[in-house]
Every structure is written in C-alpha cells, then in structure tokens.
Structure 1
Amino acid sequence: MCLCGVEGEVRVSGHDLRTVDVAAATGYSVQQVRNLERLGVIPPAVRSANNYRHYGPVHVQALRAYRALALAAGPVAARRLLAAIRSGTLADAAAAIGEVHTGLAHERAEALRAREALRAIRAELTSYESTSYGTATSTTYETAESGDDERDSMTITELAGALRVRPSTLRFWEQEGLVRPERVTSLRARRYGLPAIRAARIVAALRGAGYGVPAVREVMDSLGRLEGPGSATYLLDRRLHDIAGRTVALLRAGADLAAVIEAR
C-alpha cells in the first residue's frame, strides 16, 4: 500500500487501507469516514476476523467525489447521488450527474436573467434623473420616483400578471416588508406606484435567482440609500461567482465519479 502526495491529490495503491489511511488520503477525520460510510456515501468496508475495517481505492475516490459534490450541490444531494450511483444502473448514474449539471446551468441562467432585469431598472432610473433634473444629481432611489401618478400605477392583479407571479406572492412580499403598495378606496384595494412596481421587479428578479427572503430584504433596505439597485447587482455578481466555483467543483469530481461507477 502507498499513500503519497498532498491532500486532494493522494495516489492510493493496494486494497488494504485502514480508516486512518482513508482519512489521510481524503482530508476527513477518522470519525467522519465512519459516519459517511454509515450514511452510504461510500461502500461498506470489508470487516476482518478481528472486526477491523478494510478499505480500497474506491472508498477514497468516493469520498473525494463526495467532497466536490457537496460543494457543487450540497451535502444532502451529494449523499443521495452517490447512493444512487452505487445502487442504480449506468444510465441512472449518468442521469443523476446530468441533473446536477442541469441544475447549475439553470441557476446561472436565472441569475443572468435577474442581472439583466436590474440593469434595465438602473437604466430607467438614470433616464428618469436625466429628464427630471437636467444634470446628474445625488438622489435616492425613492426620491427619484416620487413624481409618479395614478396613470403609472397598477392593481395587484395587473402587477402579478406582469411579473408572472400569484397575487398571494405579492401579498407575502408585502407582509415581509419587501414591497410597499399604496392602499386606496374604502375596500383597501392595493395599488402600486412606480417605486413599488420597480421594487417588485427587483424582488422578483432576486427571488427568481434563488435568493431567500433575508437576503432580498437586505437589498431592498438598501434601495432607500444611495446605492439603490446597484447593491442587488453586486449580490447577483457574487452569486454568479459562486455558481462558477460550484461548477468547477463538479468537473473536479468527474474522474472520481467515473471510477466509482466503474467499480460497482
């Protein structure tokens, strides 16, 4: 048996690895190796007469693949995928890996779509300020749009249709303080002016890109300050960078995943 190289690049030969050897080859602790075996991430170890665990190269490859998959898709999805690879057919294994690639591509497409929507909103604001003030003036997001009138407002049904969400979704965003409509008539019917409409567009873009309510709230709170939609664009740029890193991790897992599949 030989273990040589650095963490993540250790070459393993022989078929009689101890738990401590597998841990050294993968960067996990001895207890983590045992836990991941119990969770089905790696095949069960061979037990000797004295009940000691014995591992082979495939266990190291499975753990390396799991580390990269956990970064790419999350630990729960990584555990499920490795279990499916070991128990299913070759076609099932290929389909499971393809789904991770497809999921990352979808996340990237949604983030790009959201970023383009925010760029359009920023362009609208720039045009509005140029028309209203003649020269560039320091202003806030809300102040720049305070001149909207009834002709520019929308009902909740109209706005929901424009954003392709349910009216109940807009009500939820209101409850969370993300979008603030103006209420009119004795029936308290909601109407959304230009500031609320553009805020709703930003919320829809961020939610569509996968951001949770706390992150969206942080961005929306910034709209009343000087940075306006720029902070949302920065958030999406960070997400695109994260997706790129996860995609690279998935590619890095490729060789080890192939080895695990072939060893079944």
Structure 2
Amino acid sequence: MACLGLIAITLSMSACSFSPEFVIETMTLDQPSWDSLSVGAAYRYQPLLGPNEEVQPDIAVFTVFSATYDTLYSGSAGTIGIPDLALNDRERILVEVCGYYLEHISCEQKSVFASPKRVSAEYDVAFPADTLSTPSNFVNGDIYVATRLERQKMDSEIWEVIRRPSKKDLHVHVYMEGISGASVRIPISRSETSFNLSRFAGFRDLRYGIQSSLMDSDSAVVHFDLHARTTDPPALVESRRVVLRIKSEEERMLEVRELVERTSAQIL
C-alpha cells in the first residue's frame, strides 16, 4: 500500500509539471522615430496533450510607461505615438505587453530611450544690484536668461531646436562652495528676474557664510548655477561666479560723488 501511495503522489506531481502553458514567444519593439514606437507580439499555447501551437490571445494590452511610471499609452499592437518632447534627456521608456488566453496570462517587457536633449542659454547675473556694496546690500540682484531646448536628430549628429523650455523647468542654485547648507534656490519665471535672497529658504545660512568669509579673507565667492529640468536631477546649463568684497570708504565716497554728478547733470 505504501508503494501504491508513492506511485500516486509521483503521478500527481508529474501531471502538475505538464499543466497547460501560455507564453509570449516573441515581443517586437521598434523605434522608427523619437515620436513613435512599433510594437507587436507572437503567442504560443502548450495544451496538456498535443503539440504547442501559435494562438491569438483573447486580449492583448500594450502599456507604455515613462521613467516615473506615468502611462503614456495603453492599447493594442501597432504604431504608438510617443510624447518625446515632454520627456527628459534620454529618459527610459518601458513597454509592457500582457496577453490573456483562456484562464492564462503572460507578460513581457522591453525598454527604449527618449531622444538626447540639451539646453543652451545666454545667462548673466548682476549681484549685488546695489553698487554701494556693503554686507547688508548683498541681498538683491538680477538674473538674465534666454534658453532654448534642442533635440538630437535620430541617427545623426545634428541638433534641432524643438521648443523653449517652460520657465517652471528652470532654477538658479545660489551657494558658497565648501559651506554645507549655505544655499538658496531661485525659480526662474521670466527672461529677466529680480530677486531678493532673504525671501528664500536657506538665506540665513548663506548670509552667515558670506559674512564669515568676508571677515576671514575680505572676500566671498558666491556661485549662481543655472539648472534645467531635462534630466533627473536637473542638468547644469551655465554657471556664474561672483566675488564679493567690502569696498573701502574711499571707494564708496567716490561712487557717491559720481552718482551725485550724474544726477546733477540730468537735472541741468
């Protein structure tokens, strides 16, 4: 009886190992352009008895995800439009197909990448805005920026202008090198942006860093890095370095006299 029981268990396990199987035999994914994908799949079913055969699933769904898993497309096979202009530089695009046949399901994934993108900019910083520079005046400034977004043509070394980046995609990181936490982030809302550092988080640490550096070495170096959100983290586009120092009494008096003379000349 024990032997019969062992044989029964063996036969049962053998039957389980030969259960029907539904698989995606091949998944095709082509990228004819940055703005489209061509997707398809072939399916096979292995019944409990008999040879495996190519079948058409009851339902097949292709889903395309961005790198942040936003759904870019969900539907059937064929040519799919891709919003490449809205994607980041070389952003990973994940394509998943799931086929449903009888009570079975099979899924497969492949990935491609969005187009290479870069931002070019004309960029300048005036800081401090007040020429009569004292530590209390190291607050206000002006940023001038004109940007354009470029995309590399597929299979080419040529770059083409595709659109101006949204201003919400731009910001300037203001910091002092070597001083942790002494930094401010300025969002860019237009081509000419006037700013007051005291309105942003991190200003107190930045001001302390500037004042400490002025006391130690009579100068302070502040960096203004322009970033664009074409990658994650945002890409560095341009950088400006401003050296601050406290002007002598003679320099300030000379500037005051020049200002008075210009004002008098305008009145006359």
Q: TM-score, normalised by structure 1?
A: 0.24
Whose strand fraction is larger, Structure 1's or Structure 2's? 2
**TM-score, normalization by structure 2:** 0.24
Say which structure is richer in helix: 1
